[in-house]
Structure 1
């Protein structure tokens, strides 16, 4: 006779819970753990790493798909209680490191192991690329609304998001370092729902001080207008200096090219020598020219200053003063919004510009130098003022 211990099926079927992966968007993994559930108006959403789970090894990043444990012993019961209160449980995670099929499959196995220990249905979204689906952009939330909630309208006033990337600084709690970013708090703010940290939600700790970061798109003068400098008689040479995504090309194409300036840009012409050659040809033909490059170094600017002096025409510098933080914000905004004709630039280009920058001086040979602040002139100020990084 076989003892019942070996033949009885476990009463809790949660250990058999699996994930059905649904192919909706190439850059997002979207899965639902098994279980029949209709859409719900209240959403309780969570980040994954550092919020629901942490590494078993104590490392910052998991060494493999098995290196995880619950962030706190209360996580499972808290989530299940929320579901009983009528909340739909959703996980939103940035997973930019899943850049091979092996890593993607490892993440899927890990997600299945995690959700198998929760007795209620859960939706999980993982953003794989730096696009509109990556937090703090709201693409994953938009997918939830459009494709994963059975058409039920979400009540944002009764929904929340819990995440550890909350902008807390060094020492926000004894012996703890600052958060790696503020994207979870920004994600919730972009959506318009309540935000809590894991400590606040699971441990009922008081709110900790935080900072949004070095740039806040909400703090701008909406009534500011650009003062277009008067550069004197033509022909002349205009040399731009400015961080990538600081508004140089927009300025040139809106204010100078329509006035007959020859447009010189290394992204288009590919080499500095070609830029110099096109500028020289324009000057020889009696035309004004605008050099739309970052030009952080005096030695590069000297090429165009010498060109102007040799031709006997004036040379002016327009110095775009947007710093790297504002420019990085613009970088993501212009790449992730229509007309989608720009790529997201890597952070290295902003660090390189900052490291090389020698502020322009009239002693270099410029006839005038004009500082041009960044002022958003597009039609979608509300969109620009969302958090993009």
Structure 2
């Protein structure tokens, strides 16, 4: 195997201290024939045992090629611009044959990793495969068929067993989300043997339980490198691969480092964490532009209540800034306000606020503005969180569920093709997920915690482009600023100690 540059051990321990894992000897399987009794492939279909097996639903496309090593050591790779690159002169491939390996070392490096006992997996974002309407169905199905052909051809040249995971929806399975990493982890290790242990007060990921994270790594090109990081090379289109590795708490390499032994790679900058975004933005707010903060607003409200004065509070803030959360959990619950909700009305400027001020003045109310001051980057993060936080928490809880006291069988149990409600309940409550078919796992996740559609980025840009700071000149008696504080409910947790929505918010989500 080619020599690699020094490990990039980029850790999120400041946010997620994780249990230390001990290594586990891999149980290598020499046969390349697919065992149809393998529970992880039981719901996949092929004409012959030697053919690739595929599973497909609205969130993922999974391909299994041969029988990958059972191992606690994972060698994971991005696909485009990492394992392969476009062969033609165009930026994007013109068809399923328009590709070549990143360089001549790719095949021998992956074969060497397989020989060393690594479980080889490819994890790729492929949102372009998502079918959003009947009109585009035929086109997307053709594109999906072409991708399958491409991966099958890559597999023939690699001539090693591996899994291919593609995230096709905008949810926790899509990088930088680590839904696919958790799913992969329970099928990668030898019989799902747990090598980690739960530590009180620490969120234990499924991957921490099943994998030797010190021996796991990801190779990807989206790490946030700037323009001309190498002469004439444009900046990375994103930093999702870097954030994915940070979320999974594993090492990250660029393809140039891993396959070329390149030494001209710039230092990878750790992206600003959501918690740090909140802190730095709150510190930058000029409080002199307002008449006070949330505490002073509440003091005014109490004073008005004591003197029997009517109060109106006009909420100002972008989508996903926390306006509704504040109103419902504080103004309504603690002060008895009546909530007037106009869907998607963010009150960004004078014109949008004028009618509320006029009504308040008509009835002699004290009229205040409450500006929930949140930066655009955090809004994007909050929108992703709002869309799939419940899905993410359930993925972690369910795939690590045999740590919660649920009994698990010693032998895989083949799921029935005609399940009654009771047998389905028994299947989900009695079986370890590693002994379940992909179909049953995804059916459970879809029924219990589906991701919701995300708000369009256009709505976010619209608010910030129209925003005007509230002033007394437009009729407000006072204007207050509300500094963002994430709110996760009464105790911030799901019904499992293994995951909580607050832990999900503290991950990189977009």
Task: Give the TM-score, by structure 1 length.
Answer: 0.83
Q: Is the 8 A contact 1:54 1:68 kept in 2?
A: yes
Q: Distance in 1 between matches of 2:107 and 2:342?
A: 55
- 2:383 matches 1:383: no
- The 1:226/1:162 distance shift into structure 2, 3 A limit, reads farther
- 2:456 matches 1:346: yes
Structure number with greater CO (CA < 8 Å, separation at least 6) is 2
- The 1:144/1:58 distance shift into structure 2, 3 A limit, reads same
Task: Look up the match of 1:331.
Answer: 383
- 2:108 matches 1:33: no
- The 1:60/1:211 distance shift into structure 2, 3 A limit, reads farther
Shift of 1:60: 2.6
1:189-208 Cα shifts (integer Å, max 9, x gaps):
10111101111111112342
Q: Is the 8 A contact 1:314 1:367 kept in 2?
A: yes
Of structures 1 and 2, the larger Rg is shown by 1
68, 75, 85: which one aligns with 1:44? 75
- The 1:211/1:307 distance shift into structure 2, 3 A limit, reads farther
Q: Is the 8 A contact 2:69 2:118 kept in 1?
A: no
Alignment root-mean-square deviation, CA: 2.5
SS, match of residue 122 in structure 2? strand
Q: Distance in 2 between matches of 1:349 and 1:71?
A: 39
1:235-288 Cα shifts (integer Å, max 9, x gaps):
222111111111111101111111221112222xx8xxxxxxxxxxxxxxxxxx
Task: Look up the match of 1:286.
Answer: none
Shift of 1:311: 2.1
Counterpart mapping for 1:5-20 below 5 A: 18-20=51-53
115, 119, 127: which one aligns with 1:88? 119
- 2:339 matches 1:263: yes
1:116-169 Cα shifts (integer Å, max 9, x gaps):
111110110000000110001100111102345441432111010000000111
Q: Distance in 1 between matches of 2:451 and 2:164?
A: 30
Q: Is the 8 A contact 2:78 2:124 kept in 1?
A: yes
Q: Distance in 1 between matches of 2:74 and 2:371?
A: 47
1:31-67 Cα shifts (integer Å, max 9, x gaps):
1112x34411111000000101111123332222222
Shift of 1:69: 1.3
SS, match of residue 317 in structure 1? strand
Q: Is the 8 A contact 2:313 2:370 kept in 1?
A: yes
Task: Look up the match of 1:251.
Answer: 326
* Aligned length in residues: 348
Q: Is the 8 A contact 1:169 1:211 kept in 2?
A: no
Task: Give the TM-score, by structure 2 length.
Answer: 0.64
Task: Look up the match of 2:317.
Answer: 242
Q: Distance in 2 between matches of 1:249 and 1:50?
A: 42
243, 246, 252: which one aligns with 1:189? 246
Q: Is the 8 A contact 1:52 1:75 kept in 2?
A: yes
Task: Look up the match of 1:204.
Answer: 261
Q: Distance in 2 between matches of 1:201 and 1:17?
A: 30
- 2:129 matches 1:129: no
Q: Which has the higher helix share?
A: 2
Task: Look up the match of 2:295.
Answer: 227
Task: Look up the match of 1:21.
Answer: 54
- The 1:257/1:40 distance shift into structure 2, 3 A limit, reads same
SS, match of residue 319 in structure 1? strand
Structure 1: runs of 5+ lacking an equivalent: 1-12, 271-292
Decide which moves more: 57-66 or 178-187. 57-66
- The 1:109/1:342 distance shift into structure 2, 3 A limit, reads closer
Q: Distance in 1 between matches of 2:88 and 2:50?
A: 26
Q: Distance in 2 between matches of 1:96 and 1:77?
A: 30
